[in-house]
Structure 1
């Protein structure tokens, strides 16, 4: 089945996408542009007023919907996005953020090339279990301590962002926000584990090998340099906050249960049907987060630099994203009859079949500069939005969208939420990190050639 007919058959939640112009996408584009540029170009204004800016763009999306289509239809469309997707999305991020923040890797080891490669590999594997944000929080400080006596150590953090904060989170819906959005849309929990594994092994393996070669070269070069006194001498490594590990297992169990247990019981809120298994899942995950707060020792969270700022920012921004994307999704579901028909044509072959290579690169390029979760959602809808078709007939297309969104979030500091967090922590610890464009030189040299080869191997 070609993407075009499947796409045309998809129905939006009551909104007439075929009759909506590109002006309806303005709030979504404006909010994403604000998120991309705010922290970099007007940091202090953004830091104090990002919530108000988000509310402003959200109002520009909702009020015209109400005026054009009436209050009941507009509110049902917005509530559907918030209640069926946003709430589950932010509850999972909150739980992973909270539980992983109670796990402390104490002690220190010496950052030799092999040790660093092993730490990066551990962090990358961990990213698909506790999320890229959780793995970054747990692993970045031990990584910095292991290399804080080396004159060349910025590259260690750069590759940490590549592998732990992005590429490693590609194997489960827990790993990276776009994949959980896909899970909420009906993609099976282990679908990405099976279908993205070869891509992840190739890309992750090449990037890790590049790191090892560079780190060996720099480590040898440091041999003749004046020694720097180690501010954190080697000491026994211990994992603190162990009660949080079964809580993480409980989160995974709750998600798997919601995918298996289908009692057929629903509740209607504001015209939106909510399924019992999803409500139970979200309730259990939320409970596990609060249990973590109760059982974790405060000093472990303090040592991790844990605070509520990052998750509060994510919660506010993503509420706006899920609201502003409502009219965009309606237009995309109209397919070739909608205002975004040229974009749909760009990712389709002349026969109407999906162009996987185009999906990979367009999803990836936009994920490099915009948040990768809404970017994934846009192209998921563009490919038809039907999870059953995307997991079967269009499996390679869904794999291209998933890989592009997760992998290429590493191309810039703003491509994925943990990137800028890791950058800020490293600078605070005295590491001379490259600036925005300096980092892009690193990604251009290491990542882009890797992605070119991977795209031709898997999607060409």
Structure 2
């Protein structure tokens, strides 16, 4: 985990070749085969943890590097090192670095807060925790909210015989649906924010859909949990977690730092400055630089002020963040030609995909975008999936927020909501599963979990399609 991503060495070697003005890739000139490294990396992320878990755990960074090199080296030979280098710089500076800095800040801040005390997992209490998590997810990220609440929820239910369903619905609500309202909530929306989507646009556009989905899931969960709760012998004879005097927070200073994260991201979206710096042909605005510098400072302050015992109690370490950073480095590099080909529209090699989500009159079909984005987000990572369909729909934030607002709302909802369909649809899903199983919860397997999502989530998505995305 400590070794740097090998692909960065190749990227660094290309920087010297970057021209003063970055050139754009003509996607219509590319063959569809240029998308193989991107597809290969996403399939590796989806399948290798299941088929070769030990190899993946030890070598995922090398796998990401290999797919990155499989794109960069041939591309530099075919189109020249200057164009390849300019594309790499744009992907890293404009998208990847801000993305990772935000995730690292939220990861550090949430890892510095520990909820102490012993709650008792009644249906009302469990439903309330899930509802609180849904609200928190849009402000501290689905990863942050999941890691903050999953451990106290495990302790609250450790005297119950049936508890796997609690964490299945926790993944549905806290790790996915709750993060749909702001760019802080889920990585796909932050990528949209970096592309020019206004900070409050999503909450204005898909709040009814989010309220419907979260409300329906909470109601279904309460009914199911109440059924188990009232069964005979549901409670164990002894609660493994002893009662304590009240509930409290350790590392509560991190709540102030969480507020600073929100303020910095909001500032970068509202502050319009003409000052920009040219980084090898990629313009970097002053608001973005201030935001990223502030987020790095917040991360360092959190690590400094959080007592060591809080990190130890939370079992905090940087391994999950390192995995995300390495994998997304490969994703942001290998997706370069895919985005270019999608921007080419029907004249590009992905013309059939563009046609499939387009109505006969040439306008985008929100329902098709909702399901196409959601289907890929279920089995691949929802952040690059969002980016793919954002560009398929034209890639211009101003147009998508106005003329094609329904399409962008469908893409946003599909990416965030349907990431809950499988364990591999969103990073927090597997994190919650791993934490729960480490504490003795017998979680359903990969296909068992899909049975839950198919029975509970898919009918709700069908209803949402007819209500909002026709």
TM-score normalised according to structure 2 size: 0.94
Question: What does residue 144 of structure 1 align with?
Answer: 154
Give, in angstroms, the shift of residue 450 of structure 1: 0.7
Give, in angstroms, the shift of residue 13 of structure 1: 5.3
Question: What does residue 142 of structure 2 align with?
Answer: 132
Question: What does residue 185 of structure 1 align with?
Answer: 195
Question: How is 1:192-211 mapped onto 2 (pairs within 5 angstroms)?
Answer: 192-211=202-221
The change in CA–CA distance for 1:287 and 1:452 in structure 2 (over 3 A counts) is same
Indicate yes or no: 2:169 matched with 1:159.
yes
| Higher mean displacement: 234-243 or 161-170 | 234-243
Match of 1:232 among 238, 241, 245: 241
The aligned length equals 448
- The CA deviation string for residues 376-429 of structure 1, in whole angstroms up to 9 with x for no partner, is 000000000000000001111000000000000000000000000100111110
Question: How is 1:281-360 mapped onto 2 (pairs within 5 angstroms)?
Answer: 281-360=291-370
Question: How is 1:225-264 mapped onto 2 (pairs within 5 angstroms)?
Answer: 225=234, 227-235=236-244, 236-264=246-274
Question: What does residue 373 of structure 2 align with?
Answer: 363
Indicate yes or no: 2:103 matched with 1:82.
no
Q: Distance in 1 between matches of 2:127 and 2:404?
A: 35
Contact 2:162 2:234 in 1 (8 A): no
Question: What does residue 29 of structure 2 align with?
Answer: 19
Q: Distance in 2 between matches of 1:365 and 1:346?
A: 14
The change in CA–CA distance for 1:27 and 1:219 in structure 2 (over 3 A counts) is same
The change in CA–CA distance for 1:13 and 1:111 in structure 2 (over 3 A counts) is farther
Give, in angstroms, the shift of residue 145 of structure 1: 0.6
Give, in angstroms, the shift of residue 277 of structure 1: 1.3
- The CA deviation string for residues 49-72 of structure 1, in whole angstroms up to 9 with x for no partner, is 111111100001111221111111
Which segments of 5 or more consecutive residues in structure 2 lack a partner in the other structure? 1-21
| Higher mean displacement: 393-402 or 269-278 | 269-278
What's the RMSD between the two structures over aligned residues?
1.1
Give, in angstroms, the shift of residue 263 of structure 1: 2.2
Contact 2:377 2:385 in 1 (8 A): yes
Give, in angstroms, the shift of residue 74 of structure 1: 1.0
Give, in angstroms, the shift of residue 73 of structure 1: 1.0
Indicate yes or no: 2:71 matched with 1:56.
no
Match of 1:430 among 424, 440, 453: 440
The change in CA–CA distance for 1:135 and 1:226 in structure 2 (over 3 A counts) is closer
Question: What does residue 5 of structure 1 align with?
Answer: none
Question: How is 1:105-124 mapped onto 2 (pairs within 5 angstroms)?
Answer: 105-124=115-134
The change in CA–CA distance for 1:422 and 1:13 in structure 2 (over 3 A counts) is farther
Q: Distance in 1 between matches of 2:432 and 2:456?
A: 19
Q: Distance in 2 between matches of 1:158 and 1:214?
A: 12
Contact 1:151 1:228 in 2 (8 A): no
Give, in angstroms, the shift of residue 234 of structure 1: 3.1
Question: What does residue 12 of structure 2 align with?
Answer: none
The change in CA–CA distance for 1:199 and 1:13 in structure 2 (over 3 A counts) is farther
| Higher mean displacement: 110-119 or 268-277 | 268-277
Question: How is 1:36-55 mapped onto 2 (pairs within 5 angstroms)?
Answer: 36-55=46-65
SS in 2 for 1:307: coil
Which segments of 5 or more consecutive residues in structure 1 lack a partner in the other structure? 1-11
Indicate yes or no: 2:111 matched with 1:101.
yes
SS in 2 for 1:196: helix
Q: Distance in 1 between matches of 2:203 and 2:99?
A: 19
SS in 2 for 1:351: coil
Contact 2:160 2:235 in 1 (8 A): no
- The CA deviation string for residues 346-375 of structure 1, in whole angstroms up to 9 with x for no partner, is 000000111000000010010000000000
| Higher mean displacement: 34-43 or 256-265 | 256-265
Q: Distance in 1 between matches of 2:341 and 2:228?
A: 51
Q: Distance in 2 between matches of 1:445 and 1:225?
A: 24
Question: How is 1:59-70 mapped onto 2 (pairs within 5 angstroms)?
Answer: 59-70=69-80
- The CA deviation string for residues 215-272 of structure 1, in whole angstroms up to 9 with x for no partner, is 0001111x34573311113332112211111111111111111112222112122222
SS in 1 for 2:230: helix
Q: Distance in 2 between matches of 1:170 and 1:437?
A: 25
- The CA deviation string for residues 137-166 of structure 1, in whole angstroms up to 9 with x for no partner, is 100001111100000000001000000000
- The CA deviation string for residues 79-127 of structure 1, in whole angstroms up to 9 with x for no partner, is 1011000000000000000011001111111100000000000011100
